[in-house]
């Protein structure tokens, strides 16, 4: 075995140990460091490889890329993590695409396996690049809704067919078929846009996870092109990670991957027509003030917060933690119930609350917290909607029936802090808001929580 493969083996082991370190918050920082060391070893080994002769372009690239990376990592706000991961997925895909094209212009010819790997590397890389850019734009709010291109299915089929034809033409003649490879890349760029543009905002967590996986698979394909085991192993690890996360997200929304990718909106048009409007809530909603809630909290022994992304939109993470601390000082047991899709990407809500210094052992995932609601005096729902709708559990005719929810309705009293009765992503009214044990506290989450904290302190 060449020494360079030995170096790649060491870095692969460090990546695996690094991911293993992410098994608990305590060992995670060290795991991340191990991964970084693994990457350093891989880079240094490659620089020393005998095939690498000129260093000007390489070092220029390393300096420019690292500088941009440092600035992005330091500047990004935790609420913007989905955007950052989305755009990083795109960079990863782009890197694989560009490496494929560059390799071809250097070597320009090899056997069939090589040609197939090259096609896959360019194809997955290109789809990941444009798909991620569209996902990023959607997360930024430039194109929030699912957009349908006229004759979308036809376009998709056409582009897929074009990719297949170009791939076959290239693989049959890799020596002179450079044009086909470049054409295939261009078509694949279009395909990436088309695949993601029709997917709605609610499904973005799945899409980011999936593109995360693609960026790994593109790297692995590049590994097959260069016959480089370092790339193959690392790409496979990332590919597996993304697939697992997208499965978890799908399960949390009761959606199949196919439905997310090809089904368009979460609620079909037929179902839309049968959704009740404002009359659903009329005369059945009880609203209350901060003092009333403070009194309830005063007499409570166990309080659970159920945060949703609305909390982050209102920038209310820190006030929430303030209220939680005040309650804990009075001897009340406080926990946070985290639905898997509470944020805009897997684990997002946990990061947002960790930033507000909520201890991580107070963040309890859905399956573990659900049995606790029946022993809870007050549950405070903060900017969460669909994931607390009991209809998903009780009403087989509901469009979201079967979606796992936080069973907040089982606690003695539910306080819903919300600006209005507007629907969530699913576009349906929430049964929870008209339940007997639910009180609505209308207002901006941040202001309301400040009032509430003051009221609790004054009691």
Partner 1 sequence: MEALIIFVLAVFIGYEVITKVPPTLHTPLMSGSNAISGIAVIGAIICAGADGASWFAHFLGFIAVVLAMINIVGGFMVTDRMLQMFKRKKG
Enumerate residues 302-331 that contact partner 1 by CB under 8 A: none
Distance CA 234, CA 261 (A): 26
User: Which CB, 220 or 445, lies closer to partner 1?
Assistant: 220
- Given the residues 49, 361, 377, 386, the one annotated as active site: 386
Q: Is 186 in the site for partner 1 (CB under 8 A)?
A: no
Pick out residues in 105-164 that bind partner 1 (CB under 8 A).
105-106
Among the listed ranges 167-175, 213-221, 253-261, 430-438, the one in contact with partner 1 (CB under 8 A) is 213-221
Q: Is 182 in the site for partner 1 (CB under 8 A)?
A: no
Size of the site for partner 1 (CB under 8 A): 112
Q: Rounded to the nearest whole angstrom, what is the least distance from the CB of residue 246 to partner 1 in the complex?
A: 11
Token pair 């990719």: residue: 163
Token pair 């390799």: residue: 103
228 CB neighbour count, 10 Å cutoff: 21
Token pair 């690094």: residue: 18
Phi/psi at 48 (nearest 5 deg)? Answer: -85, -5
Give the per-residue SS3 of 419-454: CCCCCCCCCCCCHHHHCCCEEEEECCHHHHHHHHHH
Per DSSP, the three-state class of 332 is coil
Q: Rounded to the nearest whole angstrom, what is the least distance from the CB of residue 46 to partner 1 in the complex?
A: 5
Q: Is 65 in the site for partner 1 (CB under 8 A)?
A: yes
Pick out residues in 243-302 that bind partner 1 (CB under 8 A).
244-245, 248
Q: Rounded to the nearest whole angstrom, what is the least distance from the CB of residue 308 to partner 1 in the complex?
A: 15
367 a catalytic residue: no
User: Bridge partners of 380?
Assistant: 305, 415
DSSP symbol at 78: G
Q: Rounded to the nearest whole angstrom, what is the least distance from the CB of residue 91 to partner 1 in the complex?
A: 4
Distance CA 435, CA 433 (A): 6
Distance CA 19, CA 17 (A): 5
Residue from 79, 130, 185, 228 that binds partner 1 (CB under 8 A)?
A: 228
Q: Is 35 in the site for partner 1 (CB under 8 A)?
A: yes
Residues in contact with partner 1, shown as a per-residue x/- string from 81 to 110 under the rule CB under 8 A: x--xx--xx-xx-xxx-xx-xxx-xx----
Residue from 1, 2, 53, 142 that binds partner 1 (CB under 8 A)?
A: 53
Task: For residue 260, give the H/E element and its range.
Answer: helix 257-262
Q: Is 176 in the site for partner 1 (CB under 8 A)?
A: no
Q: Which residues are catalytic?
A: 386
């Amino acid at each position: 075995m060449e020494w360079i493969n030995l170096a790649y083996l060491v870095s692969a082991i460090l990546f695996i140990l690094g991911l293993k370190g992410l098994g608990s918050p305590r060992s995670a920082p060290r795991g991340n460091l191990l991964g970084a060391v693994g990457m350093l070893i891989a880079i240094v080994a490659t620089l020393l490889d005998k095939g690498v002769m000129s260093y000007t372009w390489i070092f220029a690239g390393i300096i420019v890329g690292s500088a941009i990376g440092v600035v992005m990592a330091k500047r990004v706000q935790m609420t913007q993590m989905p955007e950052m991961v989305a755009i990083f997925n795109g960079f990863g895909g782009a890197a694989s695409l560009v490496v494929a094209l560059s390799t071809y212009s250097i070597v320009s010819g090899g056997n069939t396996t090589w040609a197939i790997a090259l096609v896959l590397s360019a194809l997955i890389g290109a789809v990941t690049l444009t798909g991620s850019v569209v996902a990023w734009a959607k997360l930024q709010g430039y194109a929030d809704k699912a957009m349908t291109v006229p004759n979308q299915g036809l376009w998709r089929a056409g582009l897929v067919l074009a990719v297949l034809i170009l791939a076959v033409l290239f693989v049959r003649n890799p020596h002179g078929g450079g044009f086909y490879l470049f054409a295939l890349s261009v078509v694949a760029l279009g395909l990436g846009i088309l695949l993601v543009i029709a997917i709605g905002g609610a499904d973005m967590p799945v899409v980011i996870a999936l593109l995360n996986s693609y960026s790994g698979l593109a790297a692995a394909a590049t590994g097959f092109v260069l016959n480089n085991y370092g790339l193959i192993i690392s790409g496979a690890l990332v590919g597996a990670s993304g697939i697992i996360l997208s499965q978890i997200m799908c399960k949390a929304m009761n959606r199949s991957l196919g439905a997310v990718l090809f089904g368009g909106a979460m609620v079909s048009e037929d179902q839309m027509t049968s959704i009740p409007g404002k009359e659903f809530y009329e005369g059945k909603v009880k609203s209350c003030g901060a003092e009333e809630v403070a009194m309830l909290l005063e007499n409570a022994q166990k309080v659970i917060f159920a945060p949703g992304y609305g909390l982050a939109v209102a920038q209310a993470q820190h006030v929430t933690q303030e209220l939680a601390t005040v309650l804990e000082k009075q001897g009340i047991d406080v926990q946070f119930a985290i639905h898997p899709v509470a944020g805009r990407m897997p684990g997002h809500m946990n990061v947002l609350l960790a930033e507000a210094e909520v201890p991580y052992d107070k963040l309890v995932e859905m399956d573990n917290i659900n049995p606790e609601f029946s022993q809870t005096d007050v549950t405070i729902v903060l900017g969460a909607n669909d994931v607390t709708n009991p209809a998903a559990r009780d009403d087989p005719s509901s469009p979201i029936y079967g979606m796992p929810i936080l069973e907040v309705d089982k606690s003695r009293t539910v306080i819903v802090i919300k600006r209005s009765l507007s629907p969530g992503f699913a576009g349906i009214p929430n049964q929870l808001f008209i339940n007997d044990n639910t009180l609505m506290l209308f207002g901006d989450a941040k202001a309301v929580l400040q009032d509430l904290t003051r009221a609790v302190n004054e009691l």
